[in-house]
Amino acid sequence: MTSVALLRQITDYANRADPYPLYAELRKTPVVRDEDGPYLVSTYWEIHHLLHDPRVSSDIRNLNPEAAAMTPAQGEDPNLPPTFLKLDPPEHDRLRRLTMRPFGPPHTPRRVYEMRGELGEIVSGLIDGFQGKQQIDLVDDFSYPFPVSVICRLLGIPREDEPRFHAWADTLAASIDPVRGSAEDQEAQLQTVRQARADLAAYLAGLIEERSRSPRDDMLSAMATGHGPDGQMSPVEMVSTAALLLIAGHETTVNLITNGMLTLLRNPDVLQRLRDDPDLAVPLVEELLRFEPPVQLLPQKTTLADIDIAGTTIPKGASLWLVLASGNRDPQRFLDPDRFIPDRPDNQHLGFSSGVHNCFGAPLARLEAQFALTELVRRLDNPRLVQDPPPYRQNAVLRGPRHLGITFDGLKP
């Protein structure tokens, strides 16, 4: 089977619930390409090598025109400058360092750790909202609102404005999936997305200006007032970065929590182990990131020079797709890779990518998933899936259930 035939199947919604047999077929040839298609890399060591190769670019402006025309859009605002996700060193490194200063080590080492109390408060409040119900949609009732609330607290969004952020996040999240319907329907959806992006950008710009005059203990204030060896972000870079934290941080965490609960309900013995031993959550989340990663593919890569790998030469300017979820199931790297083993040793997965573009928000996403899954398992009495497989989102890159119905017998305090 050709790479394009496999690629069409991988991106075909009919295979969204279980793409892993297709990945196994793809791994038979580590690097494959059809005449007009992108190069697909599907094996662990080859993906890992390319993620650390400075000749691989994340800037789509380096794609040749034919490859650029085939590269899917990823939902960023075209009116804002590219975020560091879409840039290469040294500009990537400058923006990432400036964003990291108020987020994590070495300058703000306790930012994420000190959010633990708020994480617990948000999780408890959302689960308390299940009281009196016997069935919930985990996505709408928990997985979507939880990370948006967390990002609002992280950035310093006033509590009274959080509902506006939830609405923008919902609209922008939907824009990542393929637009469907009639031409009129598609244009209406696009107009809604454009308006949400404009409203979000205007709101963030105003809040950043306010924080520059009256800073508080939050990330927006630190970004607006902080100075270091790299200077300071421009106001438009601050808006672009804050929007990135909302969208990218939200979407991946939604899928991580939802895929995690789905996996636990499919593995009741592991669910019981987590209920009995909450400390299992730490290695369990790592195994979830390997077994059901929230980001399945990295399609927006290109080559700055000809690269020889696994017997294939990928030419300069080619479109390069790294199939992270396939690498995570590679039997050359992981023993018994299609089994979910919550305390798997030496679990150096690709769930958060690797190299200079490894997931910026990984420490927070890990903590959110650990809190969420531990409390859901502890408090839901006899949880059961309503439908398996559940309905999935259209997007093949950010793969996760669009809804996850769960019935239960009651709530524990």
What is the side-by-side strand order in the sheet with 319-322? 31-32, 39-41, 319-322, 298-303, 56-57
Beta strands 380-381; 319-322: pairing state: unpaired
Residue 169: closest CA among 262, 273, 244, 274: 244
Name the residue among 185, 175, 219 with its Cα closest to residue 393.
Answer: 175
- Number of structural domains (the chain) is 1
By residue range, what is the domain housing residue 402? 3-411
From CA 95, how far away is CA 83, in angstroms rounded?
A: 8
Answer for the pair 141, 126: CB distance below 8 angstroms, yes or no.
yes
Question: How does strand 319-322 pair with strand 298-303?
Answer: antiparallel
- State which amino acid sits at residue 360: F
Rounded CA gap, 236 and 302, in Å? 26
Distance CA 141, CA 150 (A): 15
Residues 6+ apart with CB under 8 A from 2: 32, 34, 37
Q: For residue 313, give the amino acid letter.
A: T
Report helix angle 91-100 to 235-266, nearest 10. 70
Per-residue pLDDT of the chain in tens (413 residues, 90 and over written 9): 555 677 889 889 999 999 999 999 999 999 998 666 789 999 999 999 999 999 999 998 998 877 666 655 555 666 788 899 999 999 999 999 999 999 988 888 999 999 999 999 999 999 999 999 999 999 999 999 999 999 999 999 998 998 888 888 878 876 766 666 778 877 888 888 889 999 999 999 999 999 999 999 999 999 999 888 999 999 999 999 999 888 887 889 999 999 999 999 999 999 999 999 999 999 999 999 999 999 999 988 999 999 999 999 999 999 999 999 999 999 999 999 999 999 999 999 999 999 999 999 999 999 999 999 999 999 999 999 999 999 999 889 999 999 999 999 999 99
> Contact, 348 vs 283, CB < 8 A?
no
Write out the two tokens for 391: 């309905």
Using DSSP bridges, classify how beta strands 39-41 and 319-322 pair: parallel, antiparallel or unpaired: parallel
- Locus of tokens 């709530």: 411
Cα of 31 vs its chain's centroid, Å: 24
Beta-carbon contacts of 112 under 8 Å, excluding residues fewer than 6 positions away, are: 103, 104, 363, 364, 367
Distance CA 190, CA 195 (A): 9
Q: Which helix (H) or strand (E) holds 384?
A: strand 384-385
CA–CA distance from 247 to each of 18, 160, 165, 200, 398 (Å)?
25, 20, 10, 11, 12
Are 283 and 342 a contacting pair, CB within 8 Å? yes
Chain centroid to Cα 341, Å, comes to 22
- Grouping H, G, I as helix, E, B as strand and the rest as coil, residue 380 is strand
Give the sheet arrangement for strand 135-137, strand by strand: 135-137, 405-407, 384-385
Which pLDDT does position 35 carry in this prediction?
Answer: 65
Domain CATH code at residue 385: 1.10.630.10
Q: Tell me the pTM.
A: 0.93
Alpha helices in 267-361 (DSSP H): 268-276, 281-291, 324-327
pLDDT, position 165 = 83
pLDDT at 300: 83
